[in-house]
């Protein structure tokens, strides 16, 4: 057997980098390409029950009380980001522009989803935890070649869920003035959480870092809303572990956001390079484009 074939066989029969504990050929690798399908959440196909007043999914009529008091940023993600140290957050209205706040994982709770809808979105927390845990370990330690695979749509929807929770709990601000929490495409947000195919053309994750940028691996999560003239949220700028992203929540208009022209739309892979090794964080997409 040739060396290339032997390597491919080893990858095919090795553990799948999506973290499923299956072998790759029975999971996300077809011998040529990696693909992790977006998870199915189904909030729109839940049986009718009731509407909980504070739940932002109440219009679906499938709420189950009580309200869940969930974390704005999933607790599992905060624990990953903080590691053994501290975790700080920036961009909140009660902080000065450059100020950061050290937080305990239990803090930053809000009441904006009922128990049922909170648990319906839970698979997104698992996807985000795996994404951030992989990214953080690659940034922290050089340990040879590593590879993790996530669905980009799940990371996008987790960021949307986080932005929505921050917005409706009045934790997003322009300067120090809290915003109303309305999104310009609010009527589509439930569809976008339900199914990645409902994201409008050009909406989604943009990586605003350039190849070769150094990353700081700071245990920090910053969320800054970008708003229109009515102060409705159109996008959020994110800085996570020193990586810069923008999550655009409406169709792309480059005249409005010229800095997105040069940004990497829905990156297919984040590559973390050390002098003697390289690690991959592959993000798979189902939008018919090449990434």
Crossing angle of helices 152-168 and 122-140, rounded to 10°: 110
Q: Which two tokens stand for residue 246?
A: 């923008």
Q: Determine, following the binding rule CB under 5 A, whether residue 16 of this chain makes contact with Zn ion.
A: yes
Which of the ranges 56-64, 85-93, 233-241, 279-287 carries the binding residues for Zn ion, by CB under 5 A? 56-64
Q: Which two tokens stand for residue 219?
A: 């245990």
Q: Determine, following the binding rule CB under 5 A, whether residue 150 of this chain makes contact with Zn ion.
A: no
Q: Determine, following the binding rule CB under 5 A, whether residue 121 of this chain makes contact with Zn ion.
A: no
Q: Determine, following the binding rule CB under 5 A, whether residue 117 of this chain makes contact with Zn ion.
A: yes
Pick between residue 67 and residue 89 the one whose CB is nearest to Zn ion. 67
Question: CB of residue 23 vs Zn ion: minimum separation in angstroms?
Answer: 9
Lay out the site mask for Zn ion across 60-89 (x = CB under 5 A, - = otherwise): ---x--------------------------
Phi, psi torsion values for 24, nearest 5 degrees: -60, -40
Pick between residue 59 and residue 253 the one whose CB is nearest to Zn ion. 59
How many whole angstroms separate alpha carbon 93 and alpha carbon 96? 7
Q: Which helix (H) or strand (E) holds 191?
A: helix 186-194
Which of the ranges 112-120, 132-140, 177-185, 266-274 carries the binding residues for Zn ion, by CB under 5 A? 112-120
Q: Which two tokens stand for residue 111?
A: 């009441």
Phi, psi torsion values for 227, nearest 5 degrees: -125, 160
Q: Determine, following the binding rule CB under 5 A, whether residue 114 of this chain makes contact with Zn ion.
A: yes
CB 132 within 8 A of CB 240: yes
Binding site for Zn ion (CB under 5 A): 16, 18, 20, 27-28, 55, 57, 63, 114, 117
């Amino acid at each position: 057997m040739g060396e290339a074939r032997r390597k491919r066989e080893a990858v095919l029969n090795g553990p799948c980098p999506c973290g499923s504990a299956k072998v790759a050929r029975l999971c996300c690798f077809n011998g040529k390409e990696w693909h992790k399908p977006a998870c199915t959440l189904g909030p729109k196909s839940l049986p009718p029950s009731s509407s909980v007043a504070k739940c932002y999914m109440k219009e679906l009529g499938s709420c189950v009380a009580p309200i869940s008091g969930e974390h704005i940023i999933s607790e599992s993600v905060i624990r990953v980001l903080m590691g053994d140290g501290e975790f700080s957050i920036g961009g909140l209205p009660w902080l000065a522009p450059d100020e950061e706040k050290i937080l305990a994982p239990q803090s930053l709770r809000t009441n904006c989803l009922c128990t049922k809808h909170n648990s319906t979105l839970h698979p997104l927390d698992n996807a985000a935890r795996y994404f951030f845990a992989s990214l953080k370990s690659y940034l922290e330690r050089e340990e040879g070649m590593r590879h993790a695979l996530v669905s980009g749509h799940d990371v996008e929807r987790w960021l949307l869920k986080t932005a929505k929770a921050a917005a409706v709990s009045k934790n997003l601000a322009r300067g120090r003035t809290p915003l109303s929490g309305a999104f310009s495409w609010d009527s589509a947000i439930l569809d976008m959480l339900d199914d990645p195919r409902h994201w409008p053309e050009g909406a989604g994750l943009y990586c605003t870092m350039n190849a070769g940028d150094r990353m700081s691996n700071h245990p920090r999560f910053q969320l800054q809303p970008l708003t229109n003239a009515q102060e409705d949220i159109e996008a959020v700028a994110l800085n996570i572990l020193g990586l810069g992203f923008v999550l655009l929540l409406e169709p792309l208009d480059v005249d409005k956001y010229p800095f997105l022209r040069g940004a990497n739309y829905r990156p297919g892979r984040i590559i973390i390079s050390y002098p003697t090794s390289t690690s991959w964080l592959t993000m798979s997409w189902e939008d018919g484009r090449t990434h």
